[in-house]
Chain A
Amino acid sequence: MSQNFDTFVLLIKHQHMPFEEIYHLYYIKIYQFVYRISFSEQDSEDIAQEVFLSLHNEIKKNKHPINTKAWLYRCALNKYININKKKKNIQLTDNINLYEKDFFNTIETDIIQNEQKKAIAKALSKLTPKEQVLLNLYNDEFSYKEISEILEIKPTSVGKTLSRVIEKLTTHIKSSSYEELCKERRIV
C-alpha cells in the first residue's frame, strides 16, 4: 500500500469505518443516484468523486458526519444542484445514450433496453426535480426520517408525497410504451 493510502485510513468516530471501506461501499450507489437524476455519465462520475473528496476533507478536519450515508447523498444532491444551475435548458431524455452497448447482448436487446430507458426517463421527466430525488432516495432504502433530513421537509409529509408520486409515475409509465416492451421481455 502506498504512502497516499495511509492518509485514507482515517476512522470515523460514530461508525468506526475507514474511509476506504465507505468509498467502496457507497461509490456505486452515489454514482447511480446522480445518474438517475442527471442522466449524464460524466456529471455523475465528477460529482461522485467530488463527494468523496469533500468527505475525505471533512474527516481530515475531524468533522465526522453522524450519518455518513445521508451526508453523502445530501452532498451529492447539493453538488448536482450547483452544476444544474449552469445548465438550465438541458432536457432529461436528451442525455440518454441510445447506443449504449453491452458485449453479451444482441443488437435487438440493446435497442429494446435503450427504448425502455428512454420511456422511463420520459415518465420521470414529468415529475418535479424534488419528486424525482424523493423517489430515488426511497429506492435507495432510506427511512422517512433520513429522507426528510436530506430534502429538508417534514417527516410526516414524506409518506403522503411518496405515495402520490409513485402513483403518478406508474400511470405515466403505463401510458408510455414501456409496459408493452416489458411484457415482451417478461419483466413485469
Chain B
Amino acid sequence: MKNCVKKEELFDYYNHSLENGRMSEIRQHLVNCKDCQKKLQTIEKNISIVKESLRNLNPTIECIPPLELINNKKPNKKKIKFSTILSWAAGICLIVAFSTLMRKKYTHNQKPVNDYEHYEYIPDLNDAWKQNSVSVTVYNKNGKPVNHQIIGE
C-alpha cells in the first residue's frame, strides 16, 4: 500500500516519540491497515526479545558496597609508563657516563694544548718500525724539549 507507515516511524510510534498529530494519524491508519498492524506486532515482539535477552545478561548483585568505601577511595592518579621511566634512566646514565669519561681525559693537572707548537717526527718511520721503536720529542714554545718518549720498545 502506498500510504503505509515505514518501519522506523512505527518504531517511533511504539515509543511515543512522534508529534501528537502524526501519532493520531498513524493510530487511525492502523485501525484499517492489517499490514501495518503486523509490522507493529513484529516490532513489539523484537523489542520484547531484545529486552528479555538483555535482562538475562544482567549479573546478580548480592549487595551494594557501603558508601564509606567510595568515600575512602582515592581517585586514580595518572600512572607513568614504564617505557618513559626507562628512557629517562637511559638519558641520565648517558650524561653521567659522558661526564666521567671527559673527566678522565682532561684532568686539572694537564697542560693546555697550545703549549705544544711543533713535534719532531723521525723521517724514516719504516726503519724505526723495523727496529720496533719510535721516539717522539715534544718541544715548548721557547724551543726547549718538554717531553721525550720512545714508543714500542
Contacts and interface: CB of A to CB of B under 8 A. Distances in A.
A136 B57 CA distance: 11
Interface stretch (B27-35, B60-68, B108-116): B60-68
Interface stretch (B9-17, B83-91, B119-127, B145-153): B9-17
Given A50-B76, A120-B57, A173-B49, A4 B71 contact: yes
Given A24-B64, A53-B73, A178-B53, A160 B8 contact: yes
B97 to A, nearest CB: 35
Interface in B1-28: 7-8, 11-12, 15, 17
Nearest to B68: A4
Contact of B58 (A5, A27, A35, A144): A35
Contacts of B47: 166
A20 B67 contact: yes
Contact of A159 (B11, B71, B72): B11
Contact of A120 (B56, B61, B67): B56
A59 to B, nearest CB: 12
A78 interface: no
Contacts of A36: 54, 57-58
Query: Would you call the interface of chain B mostly helix, strand, loop, or mixed?
Result: helix
B143 interface: no
A139 B70 contact: no
A89 interface: no
A41 interface: yes
B69 interface: yes
A2 B68 contact: yes
B46 A167 contact: yes
A25 to B, nearest CB: 10
A117 B56 contact: yes
A116 B56 contact: yes
B56 A113 contact: yes
Given A5-B67, A23-B67, A159 B12 contact: yes
A32 B61 CA distance: 9
Contacts of A159: 8, 11-12, 15, 17
Given A4-B68, A143-B17, A159-B17, A53 B75 contact: yes
Contacts of A53: 70, 73, 75
B71 A7 contact: yes
A8 B68 CA distance: 9
B50 A41 contact: no
Contact of A135 (B11, B54, B75): B54
A152 interface: no
A162 B65 CA distance: 34
Interface string A19-34: 0100110011001100
Complex A-B, nearest 3 residue pairs according to Cβ-Cβ distance, in ascending order: A163-B11, A159-B12, A170-B46
27 contacts: A4-B68, A4-B71, A8-B67, A31-B61, A32-B61, A35-B59, A41-B59, A45-B65, A49-B65, A50-B76, A53-B70, A53-B73, A53-B75, A57-B75, A117-B56, A121-B57, A135-B50, A135-B54, A139-B51, A159-B8, A159-B15, A166-B11, A166-B50, A167-B7, A170-B46, A170-B50, A188-B52
